[in-house]
Amino acid sequence: MFNIISSANDLLQSTPTNCSEILFEFRSQYIIGKPQLPNTNAILAFTANVPFGDKITVLFCDDSTTVEVSTVSWTGKYEEFVDGLYDDDRVSVSITVAKNINHGAINIYCLDLFSRFVCHLDYEQSFEIFSGLFAHGNDHIIFRLLDTNGSLRTKYISFSDNDVTWNDDITRKEQLKNCLDATVFLDQNKYQLIPQDFSIIGPIEGNGFDEIRKRFDHIRSILSYLFLANTSHIVNGKALLQFTPSDPAEEYELDELSQNSVVPYIVDWVFKDDRCIDKAGIARKLISVYCRTKSSIISIDWKLLNSIKSDYVIYQKNHVDQYIEMKNKISEFIVECAKQLQEISHEMGDAFRNNFVAILVFLMTVLLTDSIDFSQFLKESVSLNVTAVCGVFTVASALYLIVTWIMGNQKWKWLEQSYDDLKGNYSGTLDEKDIEEAFKHDDAIKTAKCQYKSFRIKISIFWIVTVIALGVFTGVTANLHNKTRSTLNSNTVVEESADNGVTPSE
């Protein structure tokens, strides 16, 4: 423990003429005579008590000379300064400590002075200071007490002379997100604060916290109004609150909102779990119905809180009924999905089977009937008609595959659209998390889609192989036809030459 004022009084054998402490600075001033000036060892011992991370500066001044203790080689200058004084000279001594945030903590050298500083700020200045501290990236603010033993804890702020251990059931970032999700607070970028920051938890130990406790209660009440409203804004020390979109915004002095002790409990209840948006909506609806004037808004009481809770119980019952109804519809839809999936898969399988049977029938008709002489086919004698029909069958089979793919994809899109429409029907009554849990994060539709794609790929591979085989057969027949045509042309030339009495060699 280091009581800087008491230690400075002992060092200088006097009391300060002025003493103050703000967020990042402690300052005290003394007027003493030459006999009260301490020696260098005493000054070194005093400055050594300042915790690591903070910087102390001590100035000794008379009418013409100033000695700064924190400078290099100050001891010699200080001794010369003391030797040059007369016994009746008066010396001004200034002690300044520049404070820094060290491991997330700020040192408080005098709780009474710091409490006076915090409690004399206007509300907007308080919002700015604490927002700035949280903006350093920490979920907590720790004020380490150096001059007294004691403790005051809120959910995310601590005053304590000992190390602090935090056991948060929900992180501040998550709590802040919940509050901002359910409220349109137009100053959220400027004031990154929530009512829970100033909600005192546990017993207060030690003395000197009365004013801070009152101040925190007032700030908590103001912030509770800002987050309980549907839309809120702070302008020139006044709050604009609109509880429902259909109601006009009303203007309130911040002091008017600082005295209500019930609203913070309503906000705690609203933002206690994941259903904060539903709870906030119910609370605002009842406030809009029962609190039609500014005075009734300011004087919200426990009766309204009980009404809000009762209305929420009724809402939960309806919510459960809708949830059960939704689960039943989902189960029915999943069964229907499986049935339609089987039908789509069967349709593709039937299409492949029909195509394959048609090809076999065609080949049997071409090769095993009177369409061509099979012995002539083996002797490389194929007509143009056979080649053309084979080509038509090849192209038709490929187009049939493409059309079957397109139809299957379209039917699947219709199935997915029906699924999304079913989810969308409950978006206004259930929150996103409930919907995802009820639909089991779309596992059923994803599994069905994977099964359909796997089946479609297998069928498509067989189909493509069949088309390729038919294409190869068409290519063979076309080649045979060309050879047959070349042979016939050669024979014709020979016959014409013979008729003219010319031998081939001539």
Q: Around Cβ 449, how many Cβ atoms within 10 Å?
A: 16
User: 122 by DSSP, 3-state: which?
Assistant: coil
What is the separation of C-alpha 224 from the centre of its chain, rounded to a whole number of angstroms?
22
Q: Are 499 and 392 in contact (CB under 8 A)?
A: no
pLDDT at residue 378 in the model? 46
Strand partners, 38: none
Q: Is 372 within 8 Å of 386 (Cβ atoms)?
A: yes
Residue 194 burial (CB count, 10 A): 28
Residue 499 is predicted with a pLDDT of 52
In the chain, where are the structural domains located? Answer: 4-98, 105-300, 319-499
Which pLDDT does position 496 carry in this prediction? 52
* Number of C-beta neighbours around residue 116 at 10 A: 15
DSSP assignment of 326-357, as one string? HHHHHHHHHHHHHHHHHHHHHHHHHHHHHHHH
> Rg of the Cα trace of the chain?
44
pLDDT of residue 248: 86
- Using CA atoms, how far apart are residues 271 and 337, in angstroms rounded to an integer? 38
Dihedral pair phi/psi, residue 198, rounded to 5° = -115, 15
What is residue 229's predicted lDDT score, i.e. its pLDDT? 94
Give mean pLDDT in consecutive 10-residue pieces for the chain, a chain of 506 residues. 93 95 96 93 92 93 88 84 90 95 90 95 93 84 94 94 86 88 89 93 90 95 94 91 88 93 93 83 90 90 90 77 70 70 66 65 58 50 62 74 75 75 68 69 75 76 76 68 55 51 48
If you search the block for the tokens 């809180």, which residue do you land on?
305
pTM of the model: 0.67
Nearest one of 165, 172, 147 to 202, comparing CA atoms: 165
